Structure 1
Amino acid sequence: MQPLRQRFLQYNAQTSDAPLLLEFERAEGIYLYDAAGKKYTDLISGIGVGNAGHSHPKIVEAVQQQAAKFMHLMVYGEFVQGPQVRFAEKLAAQLPETLRTVYFTNSGAEATEGAMKLAKRFTGRREIIACRNSYHGSTQGALSVMGNEEYKSAFRPLLPGVRFIGFNQEADLSAVTGETACVIVETIQGEAGVRIPQRTYMQALRRRCDETGALLILDEIQAGFGRSGTLFAFEQFGVIPDVLLLAKALGGGMPLGAFIASADIMRSLRQNPVLGHITTFGGHPVSCAAGLAALNVLLEENLVAGVAEKHRLFKSLLKHPKIKEFRGAGLLMAIEFESFDQNKAIIDRCIEKGVITDWFLHDSCSMRLAPPLIITEEQIREACAVILESL
């Protein structure tokens, strides 16, 4: 039989001509272990997924127990399923009163799709405003509000009626008018290389949406669940969105997304037409059980409390003449270099030395650092030493 790597290339669809081709057999905590037993430090958490670390025993136990009871029963929204109800209830308890109705989806991209439909249905409007260098998923609707033409041009035509403004550019907010159904914004821009807005900008954005009747959709698919230093990133800016998008860490390692709004807004999907948004596997009971366990771990182990100090440690250690800029919000960080070629060479060297990092979709000159929130001070020092050696 051919080696697994060759079969992967033969039978699994590829997303690039140069996949990493690392073959892992198990994962635990912040570490991944390959087929030869080599240990790798995961500094990207599966791209923002593993906030509680890999194979946390409480999450694994929740998955095993739920799988033994039942898995898929019916399309989302028809049967009363305990894992969905309990997780939605726990999420609601962490959120403002206007964000208490949860629609579970399969992924972040589907959460984006559902939220855009919801905004159009609730407002009766068609225009959507997004930000340049934004990323909200790769399905055609989500791609329509991606602010990078390089990734879009091959797939046109996309959704009509989408306009783009500058992120953190208050002057551009005049583009939001009475014709605008929604403004969709990442609370912290992730794939742009960790771009953090001014508090005054976020508050001006909230006011402009209120003035025009447009819904404010905040995408925290990557920045949520403690990664930015608070449970939800919008808490740092003194604003509350009309619709909140979650995914990645939401499922504790299982596939899960959600868009969350008030009951008043969300009921728009019930009528004209009925079943305004449906999904077969959204809110899968095993994923919801895992997500609830992951949220409980986050809260019970108080993981968010240590994020700011761990951020400061990374920042203090990663000083080098080749580093042009260090940007970060909690444990979502970017190290900017002179070029993509330089960045890629350093990333490759880190992987050789057993530390997994990556680059950003819209900022290929910057290295991504987003480790599990459970990472310790000693582990941070060890990982940063490898990065500096690679530099």
Structure 2
Amino acid sequence: MKEDFLKFQAQTTPHPLGMEIDHAKGSYIFSKQGDKYLDFVAGVSACSLGHCHPRVVNAIKTQAESYLHVMVYGEYAQGPAVAFSKLLASHLPPTLSKTYLTNSGTEAIEGALKLARRATGRTQILAAKSAYHGNTMGSLSLMDFEERVKPFRPLIGDVSFIQFNDSNNLNKITSKTAAVILETIQGGAGFILPKNDYLKKVKERCQEVGALLILDEIQPGFGRTGKLFGFQHFGIVPDILVTGKGMGGGLPIGAFTASEEVMDLLSENPKLGHITTFGGNALIAAAALATLQEITESDLMAETLIKEELIRSLLVHPLISEIRGKGLMLAAITPSEDIATEVILKCQEKGLISFWLLFEKRAVRITPPLTISIDEIKEGCGIIIDVLNDINQ
């Protein structure tokens, strides 16, 4: 199968890991060769409830027997999408009441950018340096890594960059700014938390000049940080909330949420201001609804902070300078890119899946399912320590 994978399926890197998957259940992935791997990555923060969670699988099966795609987004009232959007609104501040469902996080970013320009009548977008919001043309325009964007220019115009956590940059937010878009916790940059009320200061500056604040919660969202959304730790509310990854139970989904007044601007002048065929797909919305119900009805969010403390207590080693992040969105920082890569590859040999971060090359990603058990955490952290000991000899 691996030979056909390389020959017929387009690749994203010259050397993909190429593990041949047989099945996955809970916190484990099983290969065609019969090997068992403890998953400390969760599909890059996508499988919030682990693999094939019974509640999600049952929701998918039930919906599959009823109907799948019936009409392009926004024309028919479809139960799973309506129920998900209503339940999501019940867990958000009143100003975040209406949700547009998309097929992925990057599509949700595209929609949020369009909505901000439509709502303000302005064009300028400010994004953070070292940010990652996706890889479609609009999302890619929000990235300041020239080596990654140069081959695809020209991108969308009137985008400028500010330094995350630097309040001295706030004067760049002006009456010409349509929106400031930030990751609540910077992901690819190394799981960087906002400091010194940075997000509050950005929001206040946006309010002063009439700009909108877009927060990208595609990675921190849906319980990963110990609250349903990362922004809830920092005492602010965005004007537009972007979500994805962890909301689908393992299926592809994204969304952007705003007030009813703002969101309705996409429905006229012009009509069909944002269009998708499969956004809000009934099968995927059913999985998302089951995922959201499980996260909000269980103790998983509170347990996430306990599990964070356990991981921090176990991953103490001379080759780990710090553990960044919050909840189960963590990164172990090693001395170099080479050591991080060695850790990741040797952990896989020993039955543990970890992964890289996009820009912070010294990091080892630790983003297991929220459902991971205490014993599984101890098992995985033990493997990491064993590998680090081998490297450090």
TM-score where L is the length of structure 1: 0.98
Measured in 1, the distance between the counterparts of 2:209 and 2:91 equals: 28
CA distance in 2, matches of 1:301, 1:40: 26
Q: Is the 8 A contact 2:108 2:255 kept in 1?
A: yes
Percent identity between the aligned chains? Answer: 48
> Does residue 89 of structure 1 match 2:83?
no
Alignment of structure 1 residues 128-277 onto 2, 5 Å: 128-277=125-274
| Contact 2:48/2:247 (8 A) holds in 1 | no
Instruction: Give the partner amino acid of 1:157.
Output: P
CA distance in structure 1 between the partners assigned to 2:332 and 2:367 by the alignment: 11
Q: Which runs of 5+ in 2 are unaligned?
A: 389-393
1:174-212 CA-partner distances (Å, limit 9, x unpaired):
100000000000000011110000251111111001001
Aligned to 2:391: none
**Does structure 1 residue 293 correspond to structure 2 residue 290?**
yes
Q: Classify the secondary structure of the residue corresponding to 2:215.
A: strand
SS in 2 for 1:130: strand
Distance 1:50 1:294 in 2: 10
Provide Cα deviations, 1:109-158, integer angstroms capped at 9, x if missing partner. Answer: 00000000000001000000000000100001000012322211111111
Report the counterpart of residue 6 of structure 2 in structure 1: 9
Aligned AA for 2:19?
Answer: L
Q: Distance in 1 between matches of 2:337 and 2:17?
A: 16
In structure 2, C-alpha distance between the alignment counterparts of 1:332 and 1:256, rounded to whole Å: 19
Residues 168 and 198 in structure 1, CA contact (< 8 A), matched pair in contact too: yes
Q: Deviations over 1:205-226 (max 9, x none)?
A: 1100100110100000000011
**Other structure's SS at 2:160 match:** strand
The answer to whether the aligner puts 1:321 opposite 2:318 as a matched pair is yes
Q: SS of 1:182's equivalent?
A: strand
Q: Deviations over 1:221-259 (max 9, x none)?
A: 000011011111111000000000000011111111000
Secondary structure class of the residue paired with 1:41? strand
Contact 1:199–1:237 (CA<8 Å) still a contact in 2?
A: no
Whether 2:41 is the aligned partner of 1:44: answer yes
SS of the residue 1:358 aligns to: coil
Residue type at the aligned position of 2:190? G
- Residue 304 (str. 1) matches residue 301 (str. 2): yes
The answer to whether the Cα contact below 8 Å between 1:134 and 1:192 also exists between their aligned partners in 2 is yes
Query: Quick one: which amino acid aligns to residue 11 of structure 2?
Result: Q
Amino acid aligned to 1:234: F
Contact 2:129–2:164 (8 Å) recurs in 1: yes
Contact map agreement 2:100 2:255 (CA 8 A) in 1: yes
Could you list the runs of 5+ residues in structure 1 that have no partner in the other structure? Answer: none
1:333 equivalent in structure 2: 330
Alignment check: 8 A CA contact 2:311 2:377 kept: yes
Deviations 1:343-378 (A, max 9, x none): 101110000001000111011111100000111111
Partner of residue 122, structure 2: 125
Equivalent position of 1:54 in the other structure: 51
> The residue matched to 1:26 in structure 2 has which SS?
strand
CA distance in 1, matches of 2:299, 2:102: 27
User: Residue 363 of structure 1 aligns to a residue in which SS?
Assistant: coil
Matches of 1:120 and 1:150, distance apart in 2? 28
Structure 1 Cα separation of the partners of residues 364 and 370 of structure 2: 18
Q: What is the CA–CA distance in structure 1 between the aligned matches of 2:28 and 2:39, rounded to whole Å? A: 6
Match of 1:70 in 2: 67
- The answer to which of 25-34 and 321-330 deviates more is 321-330
Task: Give, in whole Å, the separation in 1 of the partners of 2:67 and 2:246.
Answer: 23
CA distance in 1, matches of 2:157, 2:4: 41
- 1:350 has 2:340 as partner: no
8 Å Cα contact 2:105-2:253 kept in structure 1: yes
Name the SS for the 1:328 alignment partner: strand
Partner of 2:105: 108
CA-to-aligned-CA distance 1:45-78 (integer Å, 9 cap, x gap): 1001111111011100000111111111111001
TM-score (norm 2): 0.98
Structure 1: distance between partners of 2:342 and 2:229: 34
Q: Matched residue of 1:47: which SS? A: helix
Give structure 1 regions of 4+ aligned residues with deviation exceeding 3 angstroms: none
The alignment of Structure 1 onto Structure 2 pairs a total of residues equal to 388
Structure 2 Cα separation of the partners of residues 200 and 233 of structure 1: 14
Secondary structure at 2:108 match in 1: helix
